[in-house]
Amino acid sequence: MNLKRFISIVISVAILIIIYSQIELTKLLAIFKNCDLFWMIISLGMVIPLTLFTSWRLQQLIPQEKNLSFIEANRLILGSSVLNMVLPSKMGDIAKAYFMRERNNVSGSLSLAIVIFEKACDLLSLLLWCVFGLLVYPAKDHLFWLMTIIITGGLIIGILLLSSHQFADLFFKLSAKIAPRKLAKKLNNMRLAWQEMHHYFWDNKQQLLLITVTSIFIWFLHLLQIWLFIIALKAYAPFIASLALSPLSILAGLLPLTFAGVGTRDAALIFFYQPYFNQATAAALGLLCTSRYFLPAVIGLPFLGQMLATAKKFNQTN
């Protein structure tokens, strides 16, 4: 285990200790014991259609002549979910790109470009729903207005990076100049992959529109799943409010501080949902949100050996 991963686990554990020291475990257990079993099964079961839609999107991203089957796309998505849980720096997604290069004869630069575009679409779709939710959120204070401005700015920059080759090139060049040498090299590699991505995806506007709409729909399902978790716990928050609060909590979990967002995401859920339900219910919601990452990883365990071998090959060639 590298030092960065160890520190992230320590921070996650420390935050969880602080959270659960303020919550009676008997109350937390009672919440799960008294949950609505029907909606719990439905909400947890949404992992399956979410995985299928994400796999179908990956299949559409690959050039048709490369013949990535739907089953193979599912294997890649589930396998990368496992690696992202156990390896640092989202190595599962990198291994997925390498796997496509090895098995589907996709060039290294194109496979990396596909993974980058896939992740960019996910992030921008999340930001889009977050901005929408924040704009219609009824009880905005100064903090919420500040977050609305910051996240809207991030969404605009992200759209410009995807839509403007000149803006993206300037952005990565400036970032590489002010970044440390080790990071600057990665940014230059990213700039080249980004150029490949622009060339590949903007040549087919119909495909670009399909992927964009699919990504927005996938993230609507993600946010719907979190709201159904709330219903399953026999709590309530308006769906419109949840469109603002759950993306904010997910974004908190994306901060590179903790292991798989555990701790920061839980704390954000407790903070943002406090107008609607108590800490114990929010902590239960945090556990269910963690299951959204854990369940696909468990389902993907049969593919772990194959994906680990791919990750090992990638490390040996880089």
pLDDT reading at 130 higher than 70: yes
Phi, psi of 39 (to 5 degrees): -70, -25
- Counting residues of the chain whose pLDDT is more than 70, the rounded percentage is 91
**Integer Cα distance of 212 and 64 in angstroms:** 18
pTM above 0.85, yes or no: yes
Return the structure tokens found at 123: 């992030």
Q: Summarize pLDDT for 195-254 with one digit per residue, the tens.
A: 878 887 887 788 889 999 999 999 999 999 999 999 999 999 999 999 999 999 999 988
Cβ contacts of residue 57 below 8 Å, gap of 6+?
A: 118, 211, 214, 215, 218
Q: What's the domain count of the chain?
A: 1
The verdict on residue 23 lying in a domain is no
The verdict on residue 35 lying in a domain is no
- Counting residues of the chain whose pLDDT is more than 90, the rounded percentage is 47
Which pLDDT value is given to residue 181? 80
The verdict on residue 153 lying in a domain is yes
The verdict on residue 85 lying in a domain is yes
Of residues 257 and 310, more confidence is placed in 257
Mean pLDDT of the residues in the chain? 87
Q: Which long-range contacts (CB under 8 A, 24 or more apart) does 148-152 make?
A: 151/127, 151/251
User: Which residue is listed with tokens 């679409």?
Assistant: 121
The verdict on residue 59 lying in a domain is yes
- b/e burial code for range 263-286 (CB count within 10 A of at least 16 → b): bbbbbbbbebbeebbebbbbbbbb
The verdict on residue 21 lying in a domain is no
The verdict on residue 84 lying in a domain is yes
The verdict on residue 24 lying in a domain is no
User: 13 to each of 9, 281, 315, how far by Cα in Å?
Assistant: 6, 19, 29
Return the structure tokens found at 254: 């994306």
H/E run at residue 38? helix 37-45
Q: Which domain holds residue 189?
A: 40-309
For 35, which DSSP code?
S
